[in-house]
Amino acid sequence: MAVVKLQRPKLNFGEKIYFGALIKGFFLTMTHAVKSLLGKSAGAESLASSGLGVTMQFPEQRWDDHLPEYYRGAPALVTDEQGRERCVSCQLCEFICPPKAIKITPMEIPSDDPWAKVEKRPLEFDIDMTRCIYCGMCEEVCPEQAIYLRKDYLFAGFSRAEMVHDKKRLYEIGGVRVGLVNKWNELK
Amino acid sequence: MSDTPSATAELKLPKDLAAEKGLVNVQIDGVWHQFPKGTRMIEACRQAQVTVPHYCYHPKLSSPGNCRMCLVQMGMPPRPAPGQEPQRDENGYEIIGWMPRPVIACANTIGENMGIRTTGDLVTKCREGVMEFLLINHPLDCPICDQAGECRLQEQSVQFGRGVSRFIDMKVKKPKNVDIGPRIRLDDERCIMCSRCIRFMDEVAGDPVLGFTQRGTHTTLTVHPDRLLDSNYSLNTADICPVGALTSNDFRFQMRVWFLKETPTIDVNCGTGTNINVWTRGNKIHRITPRLNDEVNSAWMPDSHRLNFHYIDSASRLTEPLAKTAANHSATTWSAALAEAASRIKAVPAAQVAIIASGRMTNEELFLARTLAAEIGTTQLSLVPRTAEADALLVAADRNPNTTGAKLVLETEDPYAKLDSIREGVRNGSIKTLIVLGEDLITDAGFTADDLQKLDFLVQSSVLANPTADQAHLVLPSAAFAEKRGSMVNLSGRLQRLNRVVELTGQAHDDWEILRDLILALTGEKNEVHHIEDIFKAIAESIPAFNGLTLSKIGHQGTQIAETGYQIPLLANERARKAAGLING
């Protein structure tokens, strides 16, 4: 690897005592302070500022509407447009999950079930939200497009057990997702 | 140069040198090797550590050559014209003329001066083509397929597959999720028609119930009408199936294989001592598969033995020492239990004490049982025989896994001889104290509850709750076969090793530790035996057959220590087929 030698910048006396920079910074801060008192901070409008600067008054004010499309909140399971559980419990998310937050117990779909053709579904699907690091690996690895990181981010509980999302809770958060996987249709 | 014998010896060609040893020269990917005549090309490549991808070939089965995955390029020296000398390179090998078309490596045998190329354009193109054909009708339901993670089709499509399909027609529909037998599930869409299962059931299991019907892309694997795949060896078909067409009902959807850890150990359900791998995740056993050992079980195992592990974490598992108080048992501590046992044993004359041990115990445990008998001073030590019908393959009539070991360690011809006299002694009251190690006397040894009630003191070590334990004054929870280390000798005299697969449940103790602690409680001495290796060392010093061995020296394939004359029937079949050139072995 080539080594590049950098020359330290030559500073004059004024720069060396950095007093000038302090004053510069002070004026910049004061400019913003005055602006925020006048309600003219940049971006205050779009962030629904409470009036002072860009500060949002959580929890009365939420930034839910301002979440970007790529925001990674809680992972959740989704059903498809026909109400079928998309997850077939292949356990790839359990395998890839870096903090080991996911635990799946698979089961066989009974033969009298309308989706018996799929053969396999999760009996239990637990995500421990005290472990989850919202990395999105589960969503990325899922071959059935069954797990998505939704925009929910507010989770609190009085015990560790409360912080574990079970299958029912995961489907509540996830809802329905219309999409690409149609390989379990009758014709396929 | 003169024609002295030494000079001609120097001039010998590689083919002559090889022929002296009954070998032939084969060039594999540019390197010359020597192999015995009649070796299959694929086997020669394997021995030269060159991988040839394949589906239908199995060294223990015949080679129909129907998957076409093992296509390689072959070359032979061109036939010289009359009077022409063959052309040779500087090492004396004839120049190879490469054939323009590939051959299958699994069904062709090697010849002198043959060349094999497993790389290059031709071979790569062949593999890609074969993979594309195999995947045309494959359902690609890997997310729900139990084979995913150990599927040859998956692995080889990663290596040689295209990534996308060029096929635009509908895939052929075949039966899915077919119930073809009590332990096996069939998915015909996943089947790649390698016919391994058909050949296994025909050639090894001797129950040819599987076969193909229809033709072309509609070829379907089916079970014979009115028959079921219910052989006691049916689960081996799931093992050898390179895809997920045949899967085990017992293991179905239990756990993905990439979570499982395999531990080599041995089976304890009969005297054959089948070599197995136990697959676990955490402390739970999920499945058992046979492990290759050409001196014991080849590559197979019976279903009855394979599925006999669910009891290990069942509800009837004993997890803490129990002492009988009034009518019921209540939990006690190990120290209290052992002190109680020692004082009750010492309280009666040695002639009134008997020990019934088990043929399921390891050599180390039997050695300690013998030491215990010597410590008490009794000669009344017997094992409980356990016999059932043998099949003509792997299941032996003797269902105790360590009868041969018991003969060696206890130094007796018949370790079961004294059972009748002990039973008689219990009935007529001459035996007042009985120590039972891992046996259920009421179910297996012909005792009745009334007999056992005559005893002053009955102590039993056991894995599961059982009728004898109900009568016992003291019940000591012990270890199942997957929870202990130790060694056993199978019927053909092979010393094999048990390895600990999972940790012990609850308060249960390893059997050898229970025996050691009981002996120490009797003698009151300080413990000097901390490892099971120490006991094996003592065995190796005192019993000639074990001389010079240690537990680690036994190895995963076992060590022959005695000649018993017992012949495992399946191996006899296999050797005959190998001698006839039907299989590579």
Nearest by CB: B143 against A94, A107, A143:
A143
Q: Cβ–Cβ of A95/B258 closer than 8 Å?
A: yes
Nearest CA to CA, how far is B190 from chain A (Å)?
14
Which segments of chain A does DSSP mark as H helices, in order?
A: 13-16, 19-37, 92-96, 137-141, 167-174
Residue range B5-119, CATH number: 3.10.20.30
Quote ipTM for the complex: 0.84
**A145: which chain B residues are within 8 Å (Cβ-Cβ)?**
none
pLDDT at B2 over 60: no
Q: Cβ–Cβ of A143/B144 closer than 8 Å?
A: no
**B258: which chain A residues are within 8 Å (Cβ-Cβ)?**
95
pTM for the full predicted model: 0.89
Instruction: Assess contact for B441 and B452: CB atoms under 8 A.
Output: yes
Count the Cβ atoms, other than its own, within 10 Å of residue B203: 17
Find the distance separating the first CA and the last CA of chain A, reported in whole Å: 55
- In a mutagenesis test of the A interface, which of B137, B138, B141 is the best target, namely the one with the most A β-carbons within 10 Å? B141
| pLDDT (tens digit per residue) in B124-176 | 999 999 999 999 999 888 999 999 999 999 999 999 988 888 988 888 999 99
Instruction: Assess contact for B442 and B470: CB atoms under 8 A.
Output: no
For B260, the closest chain A residue by CA position comes to A95
Per-domain boundaries in chain A: 13-61, 75-174
| pLDDT (tens digit per residue) in B564-585 | 999 999 999 999 999 998 898 7
Could you tell me the two tokens for B431?
Answer: 């035996």
Poorest-confidence range of A13-17, A148-152, B187-191? A13-17
pLDDT at B194 over 80: yes
Residue found by looking up tokens 């060349």 in the block: B115
Nearest by CB: A91 against B176, B177, B256:
B256
Q: What is the pLDDT of residue B409?
A: 96
Q: Which residues of B touch A (CB under 8 A)?
A: 141-144, 148, 176-177, 252-256, 258-259
Q: How many whole angstroms separate alpha carbon B458 and alpha carbon B474?
A: 7
**B252: which chain A residues are within 8 Å (Cβ-Cβ)?**
108
Percent of chain B scoring above 70 in pLDDT: 98
| pLDDT (tens digit per residue) in A81-107 | 888 899 999 999 999 999 999 999 999
Helix (H, G, I), strand (E, B) or coil at B371: helix
Q: How many whole angstroms separate alpha carbon B382 and alpha carbon B370?
A: 10
Q: What is the pLDDT of residue B467?
A: 94
**Contacts made by residues B571-574, CB under 8 angstroms, sequence distance 24+:** B571/B294, B571/B295, B571/B296, B571/B298, B573/B204, B573/B393, B574/B60, B574/B204, B574/B298
| pLDDT-derived band at B10, boundaries 50, 70, 90 | low
Burial environment of residue B123 by CB neighbours within 10 A (0 to 12, 13 to 18, 19 or more): buried
- In a mutagenesis test of the B interface, which of A86, A104, A108, A184 is the best target, namely the one with the most B β-carbons within 10 Å? A108
Q: Cβ–Cβ of A91/B254 closer than 8 Å?
A: no
| pLDDT average, residue stretch B522-541 | 94
| CA max distance for chain B | 103
| pLDDT average, residue stretch B400-429 | 95
Q: Cβ–Cβ of B142/A91 closer than 8 Å?
A: no
Burial environment of residue B561 by CB neighbours within 10 A (0 to 12, 13 to 18, 19 or more): buried
Poorest-confidence range of B4-8, B177-181, B268-272, B312-316? B4-8
**What is A116-137 written as a DSSP string?**
GGG-EEEEEEEEETTT-----H
pLDDT at B3 over 60: no
Q: What is the mean pLDDT of chain B?
A: 93
Nearest to B359 by CA among B409, B321, B318, B312: B409
Tallying the residues shown for chain A, one arrives at: 188
| pLDDT (tens digit per residue) in B38-94 | 899 999 999 999 999 999 999 999 999 999 999 999 999 999 899 898 889 999 999
| pLDDT (tens digit per residue) in A100-147 | 999 999 999 999 998 888 999 999 999 999 999 999 999 999 998 999
Assigned CATH topology for domain B139-153+170-313: Alpha-Beta Plaits (3.30.70)
Q: What is the pLDDT of residue B389?
A: 94
Q: Cβ–Cβ of A143/B142 closer than 8 Å?
A: yes
Question: How many Cα atoms within 13 Å fall on the side-chain side of residue A48?
Answer: 12
Burial environment of residue B277 by CB neighbours within 10 A (0 to 12, 13 to 18, 19 or more): middle
Question: How many Cα atoms within 13 Å fall on the side-chain side of residue B71?
Answer: 21
Per-domain boundaries in chain B: 5-119, 139-153+170-313, 322-481+506-536
Q: Which CATH architecture has domain A75-174?
A: 2-Layer Sandwich (3.30)
Helix axes B121-136, B152-160, angle to 10 degrees: 130
**B144: which chain A residues are within 8 Å (Cβ-Cβ)?**
88, 90, 118-120
Could you tell me the two tokens for B48?
Answer: 């030269």
Question: What class has domain B322-481+506-536?
Answer: alpha beta
Nearest CA to CA, how far is A111 from chain B (Å)?
10
- In a mutagenesis test of the B interface, which of A84, A85, A91, A115 is the best target, namely the one with the most B β-carbons within 10 Å? A91
Q: How many whole angstroms separate alpha carbon B64 and alpha carbon B71?
A: 14
Q: How many whole angstroms separate alpha carbon A45 and alpha carbon A74?
A: 28
Could you tell me the two tokens for B526?
Answer: 């300080």
